[in-house]
Amino acid sequence: DAGVIQSPRHEVTEMGQEVTLRCKPISGHDYLFWYRQTMMRGLELLIYFNNNVPIDDSGMPEDRFSAKMPNASFSTLKIQPSEPRDSAVYFCASSSGLAGPREDTQYFGPGTRLTVL
């Protein structure tokens, strides 16, 4: 079975530009998570969805960040306008939630390495 798919794998953009990161969760998984990984802060949960509905976005750093999940097989994380401090690796993960979101295991995508110049 295919794992979590993220695109693009690498993104280089200039400050002020809009950036859209994409994620396809594992088929049948009801939970989708967006994480950011930086050297300074490690792995941070940004937002997660359950059945396409955002449940907790308290980790989203500021209003420049937004995430959507229009259907069960697709989610986007958008940064507008982007800033150099947004440079990081962004991971998407999904879990089946069969035994609850915390019981079940989150499987991660390969990540998108974002560089904002």
Partner 1 sequence: AQKVTQAQTEISVVEKEDVTLDCVYETRDTTYYLFWYKQPPSGELVFLIRRNSFDEQNEISGRYSWNFQKSTSSFNFTITASQVVDSAVYFCALSERGNNNDMRFGAGTRLTVKP
* Token pair listed for 8: 């693009």
How near is the Cβ of 93 to partner 1 at its closest, in Å? 8
Q: Which of residues 57-76 bind partner 1 (CB under 8 A)?
A: 59
> What DSSP designation does 117 have?
-
> What DSSP designation does 109 have?
-
Taking the least distance from each CB to partner 1, the nearer of 62 and 102 is 102
The one segment of 12-20, 68-76, 79-87, 94-102 that binds partner 1 by CB under 8 A: 94-102
Hunting for tokens 């989150």 — which residue is that? Answer: 106
**Rounded distance between C-alpha atoms, residue 2 and residue 36, angstroms:** 22
At CA 107, angle to CA 28 and CA 63, rounded to 5? 90
How near is the Cβ of 45 to partner 1 at its closest, in Å? 6
Q: Which residues bind partner 1 (CB under 8 A)?
A: 31, 33, 42-43, 45, 48, 55-56, 59, 89, 91, 93, 100-103, 105-111, 113
